[in-house]
Amino acid sequence: MHGRVTGLMGTALRGLAGLALGAAGAMVEVVFLVLAALGCAYAFVFSRGRDTVPRVVAGGALRLAEAERRRLDALLGGSGDVGGYGPLRALAYLVLRLPVAFLGGVLILLLVYGAGAAVTLFGGWMMGRAPDGIEPTPWLIAYVVGAGLVLLYLDLQGLVGVAALERRLVRRCLGPSPLQAYERRIAQLSESRAEVVDAVNDERRRIERDLHDGVQQRLVGLAMLIGRARRSGDPERSAELMRQAHEESQRALEDLREVAWRVYPAALDSDGLRAALETVAERSVVPVTIAYGPDRRLPSPVETVAYFVVCEAVTNAAKHSGAGRVNVRILERGTMLVVRIEDDGAGGADPAGGGLAGLARRVAALDGRLRVHSPTGGPTVVSAELPCG
């Protein structure tokens, strides 16, 4: 509770600082826009219409727009997807944001003025004075407190609205055009398709290795044992070889089941993600704790990717990190399924390694996002966000 309150206060203070900086920056931008207008007019006249935006004006507009975008990212909750804008759009953004920035500045001044008036009035009453000849009475105190709270609420709501308007304005003016958005989406889909093909090929090669190095070798050994038993003239020797062949066939069957389970566990289809993850925990050599939040069956592709993310992360923790415990947490956050795996191992996992890179491709195929945080010394945190709405 205390941490949450501290976090909210930190967010509020960052927001106030962001709006104050925006208002201060607007004063600089007013001067720049006036000089830019004069420069553009001069260039337009003397270039006979060929030069509408001088280079120095274009560079200044782009730098100021970028500074505003960074301010929003750092203090006001992010500017969203921007980029690919030119000097004309940057100039339009600077012009349009001026009234918004000044409105934010006025609201901050009203907040400061109201806080100062409240401190002066109540401080004077507590010290036995009557500021401006106003004597404290119960009804007057109640009226001042009530009116102050209402004004404070309205002022804070205004500041929240200004911050939202600033974010919307930067996305509208500096964000990608519909054509650019389509082109980006097409590029993302092309990249994701190529990654899916790579992931399928990697999986095919892994299955081939499992079959060749495991099951096939056991079947070869089984065939040799049976052949030796048939050629042996000694009944006791034949019986011993047949016993070994029976044991080898059991091991081959277990290997085949293991390969089939790693390709796709049947429990994932029949019983859902929770049951499949419980199987992962039971088979793991490292103790695994699972906190499972969703109370419904998720789409099959989402469950499959979430399962393989957990499976690969737990396997890596057991094989490479020296972890003594793995915590898995699955929860729904809005329209996203969040999968988080944390181990207490030595860290140092490489996100570009074969297993984690394959997971990133699986997650990207669903328009999700995979993050790996594994500093040297640990802990390692692998998290995936998958659309499931």
d(CA 166, CA 88): 19
Highest mean predicted confidence (pLDDT) among 147-161, 263-277, 344-358, 375-389: 147-161
> pLDDT (tens digit, 9 = 90+) per residue, 66-113?
898 888 888 887 766 666 788 888 899 999 999 999 999 999 999 999
Predicted local confidence at residue 382, as pLDDT = 92
- Say if residue 306's pLDDT is above 80: yes
> pLDDT (tens digit, 9 = 90+) per residue, 200-229?
787 788 888 888 888 888 899 889 999 998
- Say if residue 48's pLDDT is above 80: no
Q: Confidence band (pLDDT; 50, 70, 90) for 141?
A: confident
Structure tokens at 247: 């044991």
Predicted local confidence at residue 151, as pLDDT = 93
CB 75 within 8 A of CB 166: no
Helix (H) or strand (E) holding 314: helix 300-316
1 or 258: whose pLDDT is higher?
258
d(CA 12, CA 16): 6
Give the whole-number percent of the chain exceeding pLDDT 90. 25
CB 322 within 8 A of CB 314: no
**pLDDT, mean of residues 277-298:** 89
Predicted local confidence at residue 212, as pLDDT = 85
Give the whole-number percent of the chain exceeding pLDDT 70. 96
Highest mean predicted confidence (pLDDT) among 11-15, 172-176, 244-248, 356-360: 244-248
45 or 153: whose pLDDT is higher?
153
**pLDDT, mean of residues 19-47:** 88
369 or 263: whose pLDDT is higher?
369
CB 96 within 8 A of CB 169: yes
- Say if residue 168's pLDDT is above 70: yes
d(CA 269, CA 309): 17
CB 73 within 8 A of CB 14: no
Q: Confidence band (pLDDT; 50, 70, 90) for 263?
A: confident
Predicted local confidence at residue 319, as pLDDT = 84
CB 371 within 8 A of CB 383: yes
